[in-house]
Amino acid sequence: MIYFDNAATTQPFKEALETFNTTSEKYFYNTASIHQAGKNAAKLLETARKQILDLMYLPDYDLVFTSSATESNNIAILSTLRHKKQFGKTILTSELEHPSIVNVLAEMKDEGFIVKYIKTTSVGKIDLEDFKEKLDSDVIFVTTMSLNNIIGSVQPIEQMVKILEDYPKAHFHVDATQGIGKTDIDYKGVDTISISAHKFNGVKGTGGLFVKTLDNLHPVFYGGGHEYNVRSGTVNLPGITAMAKALRLTLNNARSVHKRLNDFNEQIRDAVKDLKSIKVQPKDAPYIVNMSFVGAKGEVVVNALSKRGILVSTTSACASRLAELNETLLALKNPGDVIEGSIRISMGHYTTQDDVDALVTALKSVYEELGDVLK
Ligand code: PMP
């Protein structure tokens, strides 16, 4: 099987798995235990925390370890908003967000908050002019992703930080889940930032929330007070040390991987450019190519590729807020048949030239097989 679904999850680095196993064997202790072994585990936890903060160039931030980006996003939104109610009611977000943002904001609407969507440019980025227009003194929360998981568009986070300097009441949250190792975004100035280890070749079940001012965060669920009393529950030290290892390897290799995937991205686009029923979405971060077999259903294309040993994903399945169709592709004003026929090809650290060659052959073969179905 040839894997092109790295935006869904990645294969862990061998080194990250080794770190996970070694920590599980030698430091299985509870980091909250006050005996010597617990203290040693707690020391390792703090070493990993500092390492991750330094690798992200956020040495003055705090980092709360969580189980996933879903959990980090939920904590950032629920914890902040419930304590900001008296200052305003408006939340600004993009049209491009993941369900772990969209569905929490839907809950917040039910609690009386107003959610406004910032417009999207034709290449899938937040429209900064519209952002500025929508900002006012009632805005208490702004949330966006750093890199879109459907087409790979990189968002103007640094510019948003700058714009928000005039709105100190507004908390700025960034869902950086897809962005790690794939952009050079400087997150300094952002109030909270979510990450998830399994998106950068770490182990599943480990995430983080970077926090500029810890005092602004309150527990969402209650327990023994771990992780600064923001996220109680026995700390997943093996997952965390593995995440630190995976982050280091990802960032060390980022440039060479970027270059290689950029080349692969061009090859894939080039291979389908003369196939008239294929529409390819704009390119930004090179690891994603989103293309539509117009006239066919994305699921049919995914299954046809899967039969040929190629694993990709649909994008229409990620719908949640607006309709059955994917929000990101809708925000880019794609017609229904383009959205329905879309697939997401996502590459990663382990993608090779042979994989790309096999993908290209399979795409052409599926195109031929679908024949008259295509428009
Ligand atoms: N945000 C984005 C942009 C994502 O792509 C994902 C994963 N699909 C998540 C959040 C949720 O991450 P996790 O699997 O760690 O909950």
Q: Structural domains in the chain?
A: 2-9+254-373 (3.90.1150.10), 14-251 (3.40.640.10)
Give the pLDDT confidence score for residue 83 in this predicted structure: 87
> Which of 196, 240, 288, 327 has most ligand 1 atoms within 8 Å of its beta carbon, as the pocket-test mutant?
196
SS (HEC) of the chain: CEECECCCCCCCCHHHHHHHHHHHHHCCCCCCCCCHHHHHHHHHHHHHHHHHHHHCCCCCCEEEEECCHHHHHHHHHHHHHHCCHHHCCEEEEECCCCHHHHHHHHHHHHCCCEEEEECECCCCCECHHHHHHHCCCCEEEEEEECECCCCCCECCHHHHHHHHCCCCCCEEEEECCCCCCCCCCCCCCCCEEEEEHHHHCCCCCCEEEEECCHHHCCCCCCCCCHHHHHCCCCCCHHHHHHHHHHHHHHHHHHHHHHHHHHHHHHHHHHHHCCCCCEEECCCCCCCEEEEEEECECHHHHHHHHHHCCEECEECHHHCCCCCCCCHHHHHCCCCHHHHHCEEEEECCCCCCHHHHHHHHHHHHHHHHHHHHHCC
Give the pLDDT confidence score for residue 324 in this predicted structure: 60
Burial status of residue 222 (CB atoms within 10 A of its CB: 0-12, 13-18, 19 or more): exposed
Cα-flanking dihedrals φ and ψ of residue 244, to 5°? -60, -40
CB contact at 8 A, 178 and 148: yes
> Which of 5, 9, 66, 70 has most ligand 1 atoms within 8 Å of its beta carbon, as the pocket-test mutant?
70
Q: Which atom of ligand 1 is nearest to the CA of 68?
A: 15
Give the pLDDT confidence score for residue 321 in this predicted structure: 43
Distance 77 CA to ligand 1 centre (A): 15
Instruction: Kindly list the protein residues whose Cβ atom lies closer than 6 A to any atom of ligand 1.
Output: 68-70, 98, 100, 145, 149, 175, 177-178, 196, 207
Comparing C-alpha atoms, which of 158, 102, 29 is closest to residue 318?
Answer: 102
> Which of 5, 145, 177, 328 has most ligand 1 atoms within 8 Å of its beta carbon, as the pocket-test mutant?
177
Task: Pick out the chain residues at pLDDT < 70.
Answer: 316-324
Give the pLDDT confidence score for residue 375 in this predicted structure: 84
Own/partner long-range contacts of 253-261 (Cβ < 8 Å, ≥24 apart): 253/181, 253/349, 254/181, 254/182, 257/181, 257/348, 257/349, 258/182, 258/286, 260/351, 261/286, 261/287, 261/347, 261/351
Q: Which atom of ligand 1 is nearest to the CA of 7?
A: 5
Comparing C-alpha atoms, which of 358, 184, 345, 348 is closest to residue 261?
Answer: 348
Catalytic residues: 318
Q: Which atom of ligand 1 is nearest to the CA of 70?
A: 16
Distance 144 CA to ligand 1 centre (A): 13
Q: What is the Cα–Cα distance from 280 to 69, expressed in whole angstroms?
A: 28
Strands 342-346 and 288-293: antiparallel
Q: What is the Cα–Cα distance from 275 to 252, expressed in whole angstroms?
A: 37
Distance 127 CA to ligand 1 centre (A): 23
CB-based burial, 154-171: b 16+ in 10 Å, e otherwise: bbbbeebbebbeebeebb
pTM here? 0.96
